[in-house]
Chains A and B, each alone.
Chain A
Amino acid sequence: QKEVEQNSGPLSVPEGAIASLNCTYSDRVSQSFFWYRQYSGKSPELIMSIYSNGDKEDGRFTAQLNKASQYVSLLIRDSQPSDSATYLCAVNKGTGRRALTFGSGTRLQVQP
């Protein structure tokens, strides 16, 4: 079992719709969770971080965390073609400056 699992996609949604990206992790001691966006040929860019159960909203993005189910999700409202990218889920097993374990990413395509 991979430590961080994501559906590779592609996930295709029409412009203006809500895109829902999901991630599960295997280690119950994980404490910090991150979503990165990576455009083709570019480096990963941090979108959201979440540390406690529930929802965290930032503009069109909402991260959701359920530690009991070991599940993290990212919702993108009013999806735009510019949101088309690969979204990487990352998990930190402890607090502080430890390495992140990344999922393989979900490719999102927003159709104009």
Chain B
Amino acid sequence: DAGVIQSPRHEVTEMGQEVTLRCKPISGHNSLFWYRQTMMRGLELLIYFNNNVPIDDSGMPEDRFSAKMPNASFSTLKIQPSEPRDSAVYFCASTPTGELFFGEGSRLTVL
């Protein structure tokens, strides 16, 4: 069975550029989560969706971040404009019942 699929795996961009991260959850999982991991702050929740509806976006740092889930099999996390402090690994995870299954992550470097 395919797991959570994220793209791109690595992204290097310059400050001010738009970044779009993509996620395909495991089929049949109705909840999708975006987390960010840094050495300083660990694994932080950014936003999560239940049945494609955003439930909690209190972890989204500021208006530069936005996330969408247009259907059950696809979600995007967009950063516009990007800043060096956004450099981190961004994980997408999905679940049917509670335990999260993570994708391999997107490592973002903003120069």
Residues of A whose CB lies within 8 Å of any CB of B are 32, 34, 42-46, 49, 88, 90, 92, 95-105
A-chain residues with CB within 8 Å of residue B95 when the two chains form the complex: 97
Interface residue stretch chosen among B14-22, B64-72, B99-107: B99-107
Tell me the smallest distance from the CB of B104 to a CB of chain A, in Å.
Answer: 5
Is the beta-carbon distance between A95 and B56 smaller than 8 angstroms?
no
CB atoms of A34 and B99 under 8 A apart: yes
Most B CB within 10 A of own CB, among A49, A95, A100: A100
- B42 beta carbon closer than 8 Å to chain A: yes
Are A43 and B105 in contact, with the CB atoms below 8 A? yes
Question: Smallest Cβ distance from B88 to chain A, in angstroms?
Answer: 13
What's the Cα separation between A95 and B99 when bound, in Å?
11
**Chain A residues with CB below 8 A from B96, complex form:** 97
B76 interfacial contact with A, CB 8 Å: no
Residue in A34, A46, A99, A105 whose CB lies within 8 Å of B45: A99
A103:B104 contact, CB within 8 angstroms: no
Among all A-B residue pairs, the 7 with the closest Cβ atoms: A97-B31, A43-B102, A102-B43, A104-B42, A99-B45, A99-B48, A44-B102
Measured between alpha carbons, how far is A93 from B42 in the docked complex, in Å?
19
Which residues from chain A contact B97 at a C-beta distance below 8 Å? 96-97
Residue B109 interfacial (CB < 8 Å): no
Q: Are B42 and A103 in contact (CB under 8 A)?
A: yes
Q: Give the shortest distance, in Å, between B31 (CB) and chain A (any CB).
A: 4
Residues of B within 8 A of A95 (CB): 98
A102-B98 in contact (CB<8A): no
- Interface hits, B20-51 → A, CB 8 Å: 30-31, 33, 35, 42-43, 45, 48, 50
B30 CB to nearest chain A CB (Å) = 7
CA distance A42 to B102 in the complex (A): 10
| B contact residues around A101 at 8 Å (CB) | 45
Complex contact A46–B42 (CB within 8 A) = no
- Taking the closest CB of chain B, its distance from the CB of A71, in whole angstroms, is 20
11 A-B interface contacts by CB (under 8 A): A34-B100, A43-B102, A46-B99, A46-B100, A49-B99, A88-B43, A95-B98, A96-B98, A97-B97, A102-B35, A102-B42
